[in-house]
Amino acid sequence: MNKLILSEERKQYIKSKKREKRIIHITQISVLVIFLVLWEVLARLNIIDSFIMSSPSRIWQTFMNLGSNDILKHLWVTVYETIAGFLIGTVLGIIIAIILWWSKFLSKVAEPFLVVLNSLPKVALRTSNNYMGRLWNRSNNNNGSSNFFNSNNIRKLKWIYENRYRFNKNG
């Protein structure tokens, strides 16, 4: 067996690095404990408003009671949807990349559109958050937020198309 032979200086260096690392961890834990204790004391003495800032003990108590309601079920649904969305997006992205890699024609056709889509802020590509948990045919009051897929814009275009003759008479 090959045992690594270290010099005394190297052993001292390693020992000092371990000691330094241990001191850093102890200091970090101490700062956290002091912060939590100070927060708890200030909340109990009503120096800080415990309704707004709460207190560590109340937060811990709430955390321990999470299993008594449906929050864990909702948490699981959120995690499941996040993972499913990531996997679906990744698989579709890989399939589209392979298709564009194989077909030079499709690649050249799609290139300007992909450049435009890549330069847009990703927030602009999402559907309006008013659709969450609602039917698609309900009204969409987006209060001026700009979305790429916005039903109000589609409705406005339909109205302009249907009333185009009224505009052309005056112009």
pLDDT tens digits, 31-74? 999 999 999 999 999 999 888 889 999 998 888 887 777 877 88
Q: Which residues contact 157 (CB under 8 A, 6 or more apart)?
A: none
Segment 76-86 mean pLDDT: 94
Segment 162-171 mean pLDDT: 54
> Could you give the CA distance from residue 59 to residue 8 in angstroms, rounded to a whole number?
50
How many CA atoms lie within 13 Å of 65's alpha carbon, on the beta-carbon side? Answer: 6
**pLDDT value of residue 142:** 47
Question: Which tops the pLDDT comparison, 56 or 135?
Answer: 56
Share of the chain above pLDDT 90, in %: 47
Tokens of residue 116, six digits? 């435009």
**Could you tell me the pLDDT band of residue 140, with boundaries at 50, 70 and 90?**
very low
Model pTM score: 0.42
How far the first Cα of the chain sits from its last, in Å, is 94
